[in-house]
Structures are given as C-alpha cells and as structure tokens.
C-alpha cells in the first residue's frame, strides 16, 4: 500500500514505523506527513501521542465518513534535524459521501526530548 502522505514510498517504509512507535520523525515536515497519514488510516492514538501536552485535547474523535486522500506541502520554515522549532504550511484534501473540501493551515511544531510534537495552527 502506498503511503497516504504521498511521499512515494510504501506505507510500511514511510509513516507506519512512526505510527507503531518503531521510530520518530526526524523533521517537523515528516511529523506533519505522518499526522496526515494518521488521519487517513484513522489512528487517533498516534495523533494524540504527537500532540504537545499544552494544546492536546483530552480525547479525539475522528469522523469515519471523511476520507483524507491528498496532502500538499506548501512551505516549511526551520524544523530540521538540528532545530527545536518549525512550521509547516500544508493543504490536506478530504471527501465524504456528500461533499469534498480541503483544510489549509500553517502548523507550529517543537522538538522536545528528541521528538517533534505538533503544537497548534500558527
């Protein structure tokens, strides 16, 4: 199966190892891609685990009728392997039985304890 983040790699070689906790994202962009893939495969536990405690909700309910099918990375600022902060601007596309749409945002990430975490929309 091709990875939902559209990296071109198989899911088993791209985002699945992150979802299973085998490895961590080396960059803010890779965390963003893995979080998109988590929405696509309905992995709410991974989304919560990679959300910074200061902004993380107590629970997360994913909408089963939404199908996340495309991710476009528009811009990135910092967020590399040696950075502690980064931003990623993206547009994520979804469809449901009745409609389709997209979500565009610029997200802020921090690296703490060697792990990138999603903080909030910038």
What pLDDT sits at residue 88? Answer: 98
What pLDDT sits at residue 122? Answer: 77
Contact 86, 78 (CB under 8 A): yes
Q: What is the pTM of this model?
A: 0.96
What pLDDT sits at residue 36? Answer: 98
Q: pLDDT tens digit string along 66-83?
A: 999 999 999 999 999 999
Instruction: Report domain extents, the chain.
Output: 11-121
Mean pLDDT of 85-99: 98
Assign domain 11-121 to a CATH class: alpha beta
Q: What is the rounded distance in angstroms from the CA atom of residue 111 to the CA atom of residue 119?
A: 10
Tokens of 53: 């405690």
**31: exposed, middle or buried (Cβ count in 10 Å: 0-12, 13-18, 19+):** buried
Tell me the Ramachandran region of residue 90: left when phi exceeds 0, alpha when psi lies from -120 to 50, beta otherwise. beta
């Amino acid at each position: 199966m091709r990875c939902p983040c559209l990296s071109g790699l198989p899911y088993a070689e791209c985002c699945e190892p992150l979802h299973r906790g085998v490895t961590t994202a080396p960059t803010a962009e890779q965390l963003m891609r893995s979080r998109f893939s988590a929405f696509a495969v309905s992995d709410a536990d991974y989304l919560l685990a990679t959300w910074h405690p200061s902004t993380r909700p107590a629970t997360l309910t994913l909408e089963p009728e939404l199908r996340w099918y495309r991710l476009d990375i528009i811009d990135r600022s910092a967020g590399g392997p040696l950075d502690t902060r980064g931003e990623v601007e993206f547009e994520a596309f979804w469809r449901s039985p009745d409609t389709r749409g997209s979500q565009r945002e610029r997200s802020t990430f921090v690296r703490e304890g060697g792990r990138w975490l999603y903080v909030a929309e910038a």
